[in-house]
Copies of this chain bind each other. A is one copy, B any other.
C-alpha cells in the first residue's frame, strides 16, 4: 500500500480528549478514530491489526472443535427477562422500536445461544457442543476513558460449550484455557491466570490478566508460585504469606484480556434445556462460557508494546510485514522495484512514497511501529538499510537478504 494513498495521517499532537496511552498512540499513529467516549472507528491500519487478532482467535477456536456462528446484536426483551438479566445487567443498552417492542443490545449472548443450541442438540449423541462468534458487543459503561480497553461498543469472541457431565465440562474447560494461553502468546502478550468470582454455581471463574501499571484491575499475585486472585474476591494484604506456597504476595495492576466461566445450569435451567440420555431420561445440560476481546487485546498490546517514539507491533499483529521508506527521491526507481519484488514474494508492504523529509518519514515510521523498516536512501547504495523497530537488529542488505529477514520474522 502506498502511504501517499493511505486514508489516515499521523498526528503530531496527542488528542486532547484521551487519557489512556493506547488511545493516544493508536489515534496519533492513525489506527483508530474516536467517534465518542468508548466508541471508535478502525482505520485501514487498525482494521488490519484487529483482523489479525480475530484470525488468531478463530484458528485456536476451530482447533478446539468449536463451530463459528454469528448471532445478532439486536435481541428481544423476552429472553433477558427469562434469564433474569433484564433487570440485573446494569450496562445493558435497552431500546424501544415500532409497535412498542422492547429490545436490548447484546452485552453477552448466553440468552441467544442457549435456546439456539437447545434446538439442535437435544440428545446425548449431540453433546458436547461448542459454538463461538466474533461480533460487536454493546455495554453502557458509565466510564469509558480507557480507549480500547473499555468500550461501549467493542469486539468480542464469545465461545459457549454444552455438556452432558461435569467431567466433560471440566475437560473442555481445561482445553479452552490452553487455547486462550495460545491466543495471548501468539498476540505477544504474557497473560496470567487469575481466580475471580464464580457466581452461584462455581467456586471460581478464571480471568487472563496482563500485568501492567495501566491496567484497571487489581490483582493479588505470588511471584514464587502461580497463585493469583482478583481483589474482588481476595482480601490478602501485600507481604502476607501466599496461601499456596507461603511466600509473600504482591498487589499489582492488570488488564483483563479474557475470562472463562463454568456457568453449569444457570442458563440451561432458565431456558429449560435438558438432553435425553442413553436411557431416554431427561438430564440437565451443563454449560461453560469463554470470552476474549479482540479490540481489548489490541488496546493491551498498544499499552505494552511501545516506547517514547511510538508503537512496536509483535510480528503476528503487524499491519504490514515491512515499512519501506524512500528517503532520497532520486532513488525512487530502486524503491519502486523493491516494493514490487517484495509484493511478488508474498509480502504486504506499507511504502512511504510521500514527498516529505527523511526526518518526518522516520518519525512517522517509528510512531506507526511496523517492526521491520526498509530504508532506501543515500547510505546503503544499491542495497537497502534495515532497522528493527524493537532494536533487535540493523544493517544493510540486498534483496535476498531482505527476504531472509522477512522469512525469519514471519514464517515459522
On A, residues with C-beta under 8 Å from B are 5-9, 33, 35-36, 39-44, 46-47, 50, 65, 67-76, 93-99, 103, 105, 112, 116-117, 119-121, 129, 131, 136, 138, 140, 142, 152-153
Chain B residues near A120: list those with CB within 8 A. Answer: 7-9
C-alpha gap A219/B83 in the complex (Å): 47
Taking a contact as CB atoms under 8 Å apart, the answer to whether B41 and A72 are in contact is yes
Please determine whether A7 and B95 come into contact, CB atoms closer than 8 angstroms.
no
With a cutoff of 8 Å between Cβ atoms, the chain B residues found around residue A119 in the complex are 33
Q: Is the CB of B71 within 8 A of A136?
A: no
Most buried by B among A9, A67, A112: A67
Asked if A72 contacts B7 (CB within 8 A), the reply is no
B98 near A140 with CB under 8 A, answer: yes
Query: Given contacts A47-B68, A93-B95, A120-B9, are A39 and B142 in contact (CB under 8 A)?
Result: no
The contact sample of 23 A-B pairs, CB cut-off 8 A, is: A7-B131, A9-B120, A33-B116, A35-B72, A35-B112, A36-B75, A36-B76, A41-B72, A42-B69, A42-B71, A43-B69, A44-B67, A47-B68, A72-B153, A73-B73, A73-B138, A73-B153, A74-B93, A74-B152, A93-B103, A95-B95, A95-B105, A99-B142
Q: Residue of B at shortest CB range from A109?
A: B41
Q: How far is the CA of A120 from the CA of B41 in the complex (A)?
A: 14
Query: Is there an interface contact between B35 and A71, defined as CB atoms closer than 8 Å?
Result: yes
Of chain B, the residue at the smallest CB distance from A97 is: B140
**Chain B nearest CB: distance from A77 CB in Å?**
10
Known: A35-B72, A42-B69. 6 other contacts (CB 8 A): A7-B67, A7-B117, A7-B131, A72-B136, A95-B105, A98-B140
**When the two chains form their complex, are residues B69 and A35 in contact, meaning their CB atoms are under 8 A apart?**
no
Please indicate the chain B residues that have their CB under 8 angstroms from the CB of A74 in the complex.
39, 93, 105, 138, 152-153
| Nearest residue, chain B, Cβ from A48 | B68
